[in-house]
Amino acid sequence: MEIILLNGTKDDPHIKGICEELKAMKQNHFVLDNLSHSDVFSVDFKQGQYVSEINCRETKINLSNVKSIWNTSPLRVSISNDLNDDSKPFVKAEWTEGIHSLWYSIKTKWVNHPDSIMSSVNRVNQLENASKLGLLTPRTLVTNSPEKFEAFYNEFDGEIIAKTLHSSEGLPEDKMIFTTKITKKDLERKNELRYAPSMFQEYVKKKTEFRVTIVGNTIRAAEIYSQMSSKTKHDWRQYDDFQRTPYKEATLPSDISKKLLKLMKLMKLEFGAADLIRTPDDEYVFLEINPNGRWWWIQELTGMNIAKDIAHHLSMA
């Protein structure tokens, strides 16, 4: 019997939402949310073919029957407390490589494949690919040089922002690192940059912003009226009051949609969450695309059934 695997946490609203849609579609599915020493898997490679299986929580799955996989987070592994602390790093590393072998043995539709996620997360590479396809992108500098940073600041008369090079999603809410507009006070601390590089971009003026969730060839665009609140002016992720920062379902210009779909194909992604700016001149500027992007709150705020889009895409393998 064919089965759809979902790699994630069972109590995650994203996973729960997709599972509800799969259940309504009568699609057999299983949430693979954690592995431990009480679970068993095997990857048998013989004469160019894989025979793989997994037995998790008393559910045995022949992986040749996997129809498709929803994969937006690393598979969690619980290391046995029976091990001494010195051996735990080695055991964890072996589990990691073992899971990689498991994943590579499954020849099916991935949303998204681990290789595609790894190769697509670099934000500078994303900008390069988007620019090649004709999308507007902001001038960007990645550096740990205080001198380069100061020159960039002066070139744009102080109108620049700073971003993390790696997404801070997954951190506690009080530890999240948001896009920040650079000030003269920040410039005075420029030497601190030597400790770790950062990304700087020209500040792009905004009329509204877009969070675009792409599943296969289906595009769901949420227009974010971030400039209506001072808190979300520079980074809509700092939303505090949805009455002051409305989210509305919207339609992108057809040429922008086509370019985003081409970008997805170029990056070998089946799912992505893209961020764009709509300028006061109604130009669309591409910022980034997240192969692991969150979307549940957008579904709740706009009524767009993204979970159904994903479930349908998984079932069409």
DSSP 5-58: EEES-TT-HHHHHHHHHHHHTT--EEEE--EETTSEEEEEEETTEEEEEEEETT
What letter would DSSP give residue 133? Answer: T
Please tell me the pTM assigned to this model.
0.89
The CA distance from 101 to 251, in Å, is 41
Under DSSP, is residue 290 helix (H, G, I), strand (E, B) or coil? Answer: strand
What letter would DSSP give residue 228? Answer: G
**Domains in the chain, please, with CATH?**
3-111 (no CATH), 113-136+205-303 (3.30.470.20), 139-203 (3.30.1490.20)
pLDDT in tens, the chain (317 residues): 899 999 988 899 999 999 999 999 999 999 998 888 788 999 999 999 999 999 987 889 999 999 999 998 777 888 888 888 888 889 889 988 999 999 999 999 999 999 999 999 999 999 999 999 999 999 999 999 999 999 999 999 999 999 888 765 544 444 445 688 899 998 999 999 999 999 999 999 999 999 999 999 999 999 998 765 555 554 545 555 555 678 899 999 999 999 999 999 999 999 999 999 999 999 999 999 999 999 999 999 999 999 999 999 999 97
Q: Are strands 247-250 and 198-202 parallel, antiparallel or unpaired?
A: unpaired
- Residue recorded with tokens 């951190």: 171
The CA distance from 183 to 188, in Å, is 9
Which residues does residue 275 pair with via DSSP β-bridges, in sequence order?
211, 288
* CA–CA distances in Å: residue 184 to residues 140, 152, 197, 282, 317: 19, 13, 19, 30, 53
What letter would DSSP give residue 159? Answer: -
The CA distance from 135 to 127, in Å, is 9
Token digits of residue 70: 């929803």
